[in-house]
């Protein structure tokens, strides 16, 4: 009889590296959709204003709430279910995109609406960044941290390969609204992937003993201040990110559009070339995992990326040259980011990673919105007017970068390329940074802490 047949349906959630793979695939789909929307919005705003400042303010908006929320996001990440945090922050970002769709469909979408939306999304991204990094050490063995970070880079740069080309092809057919609808669908795919997986509870150490909310925010910054190698690594990222925000992150698209006569095809080709470079670097790291001493990936990769990438972008006067520069710049980014992430994930105990990574993110990326904020006016009011026919810098640099629209932004790229490569190489002059992997023990051999009655955490001195 059928009632004697004891059918039992049991779904086992993926765990370990399988769970990370499911999460990674979902997040990669979401990144493709997000990159498509950002590309479409960027073109829409450029066509509306023709000013680099309009585009850089769009990028700056995403950092305002990100920096404000990040320290709080770290504490929440360490206190609550990291999978739930990822799901909720994804759904919140979906709602913002839905509002964009409604406003655009009714003919009411304006540039300031996008700025406000990006501010909100930046706050949600703070939780994504904190929980996303902390989850890796719970799912992936320590020996594969470099590979996991390489996979993350692959998804980021892989989306940059396909998204611009797809968007450039679809935008005339389905308009900005259709692109944003695709973005919503990919967000839901990411949420579905997160809902399927199991993430183990965070193991507790003495470092992670809970205190007041304020003390826990201070904990992450105090942790860095007492570890000079990690602090120097964070400050290096602050300086490098600030330089990158002046050009690579902000005015690359306006420069290409200005120098190509507003060609969406040229911009898509350059961004796709950058994505291909990132994919190649990410695949290399995913397969290789990097050398034992990851600090060489960070310092060497940064110097070469600035030297070969930014300077070629600045000197270029055609889509082929910009694509070559973008490829070389992006090729080393997954390598150096993977090296840095592997150092942090191996040195920080999992139950305090939310707070420490948030402090690291806040400090390391503090200069990014500053770079975005000044890059547009610097291009529009200083460098661009100086490199038109008869401009004050035209006699000195006109033969190097040319004159006319976009030439001033090209000179900005050359400046950041030279400064960034020298600054990165100078990291070898700091012993605490150069020997960070030797001086600091891995978290499974970390020194204990002493907790005083006042609730303050005193860490054992570390070189």
What is residue 137's predicted lDDT score, i.e. its pLDDT? Answer: 74
CA distances from 25 to 84, 118, 175, 229, 345 (A): 18, 24, 27, 34, 21
What 8-state DSSP symbol labels residue 449? E
Convert the pLDDT of each residue in 372-422 to its tens digit.
889 989 999 999 999 999 999 999 999 999 999 999 999 999 999 999 999
Tell me if 327 sits within 8 A of 252, measured CB to CB. no
CA distances from 149 to 136, 146, 154, 389 (A): 9, 5, 9, 47
Tell me if 350 sits within 8 A of 443, measured CB to CB. yes
Convert the pLDDT of each residue in 184-201 to its tens digit.
999 899 888 888 887 777
Instruction: Provide the pLDDT confidence category of residue 232 given band limits of 50, 70 and 90.
Output: very high
What is residue 181's predicted lDDT score, i.e. its pLDDT? Answer: 94
The domain tally of the chain equals 1
What is residue 318's predicted lDDT score, i.e. its pLDDT? Answer: 92
Q: By percentage, how much of the chain surpasses pLDDT 90? A: 33
Asked whether residue 249 is domain-assigned, the answer is yes
Tell me if 187 sits within 8 A of 33, measured CB to CB. yes
d(CA 62, CA 116): 9
Mean pLDDT on 205-227: 75
Tell me if 232 sits within 8 A of 432, measured CB to CB. yes
- Is residue 17 scored above 80 in pLDDT? no
CATH number at residue 31: 1.20.1250.20
Asked whether residue 404 is domain-assigned, the answer is yes
Asked whether residue 1 is domain-assigned, the answer is no
Asked whether residue 9 is domain-assigned, the answer is no
Asked whether residue 11 is domain-assigned, the answer is no
Tell me if 309 sits within 8 A of 326, measured CB to CB. yes
Convert the pLDDT of each residue in 337-369 to its tens digit.
888 888 888 888 877 887 888 888 888 888 888
Domain that holds residue 342: 16-203+210-459
Asked whether residue 8 is domain-assigned, the answer is no
Mean pLDDT, all residues of the chain: 83
Asked whether residue 149 is domain-assigned, the answer is yes
Kindly compute the dihedral angle of the four CA atoms of residues 270, 276, 278, 279, in this order, to the nearest 10 degrees.
Answer: 160
């Amino acid at each position: 009889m059928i009632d004697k047949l004891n059918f039992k349906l049991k779904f086992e959630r993926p765990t370990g590296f399988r769970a990370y793979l499911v999460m990674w695939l979902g997040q990669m789909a979401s990144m493709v959709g997000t990159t498509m929307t950002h590309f479409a919005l960027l073109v829409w705003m450029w066509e509306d204003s023709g000013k680099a400042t309009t585009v850089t303010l769009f990028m700056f908006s995403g950092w305002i709430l990100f920096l404000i929320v990040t320290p709080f996001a770290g504490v929440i990440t360490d206190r609550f279910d990291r999978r739930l945090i990822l799901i909720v922050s994804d759904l919140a970002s979906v709602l913002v995109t839905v509002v964009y769709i409604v406003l655009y469909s009714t003919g009411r979408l304006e540039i300031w609406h996008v700025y406000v939306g990006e501010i909100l999304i930046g706050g949600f991204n703070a939780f994504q960044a904190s929980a996303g990094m902390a989850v890796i050490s719970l799912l992936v063995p320590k020996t594969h941290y470099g590979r996991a970070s390489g996979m993350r880079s692959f998804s980021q740069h892989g989306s940059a390969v396909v998204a611009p080309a797809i968007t450039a092809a679809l935008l005339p057919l389905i308009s900005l609204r259709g692109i944003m609808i695709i973005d919503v669908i990919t967000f839901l795919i990411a949420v579905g992937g997160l809902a399927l997986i199991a993430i183990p509870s965070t193991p507790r150490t003495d470092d992670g003993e809970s205190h007041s909310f304020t003390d826990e925010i201070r904990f992450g910054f105090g942790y860095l201040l007492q570890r000079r190698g990690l602090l120097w690594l964070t400050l290096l990222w602050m300086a490098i990110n600030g330089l990158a925000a002046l050009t690579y992150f902000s005015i690359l698209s306006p420069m290409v559009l200005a120098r190509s006569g507003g060609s969406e095809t040229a911009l898509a080709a350059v961004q796709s070339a950058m994505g291909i470079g990132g994919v190649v670097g990410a695949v290399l790291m995913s397969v290789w995992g990097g050398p034992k001493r990851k600090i060489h990936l960070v310092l060497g990769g940064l110097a070469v990326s600035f030297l070969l990438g930014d300077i070629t972008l600045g000197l270029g006067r055609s889509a082929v040259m910009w694509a070559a520069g973008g490829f070389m710049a992006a090729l080393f980014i997954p390598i150096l980011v993977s090296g840095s992430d592997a150092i942090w994930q191996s040195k920080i105990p999992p139950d305090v990673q939310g707070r420490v990574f948030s402090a690291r993110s806040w400090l390391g990326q503090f200069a990014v919105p500053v770079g975005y904020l000044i890059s547009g006016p610097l291009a529009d009011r200083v460098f661009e007017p100086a490199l038109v026919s008869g401009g004050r810098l035209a006699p000195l640099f006109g033969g190097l970068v040319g004159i006319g629209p976009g030439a001033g932004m090209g000179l900005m790229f050359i400046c950041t390329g030279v400064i960034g490569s020298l600054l990165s190489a100078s990291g070898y002059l700091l012993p605490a940074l150069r020997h960070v992997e030797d001086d600091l023990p891995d978290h499974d051999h970390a020194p204990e802490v002493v907790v005083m009655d006042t609730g303050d955490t005193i860490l054992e001195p570390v070189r």
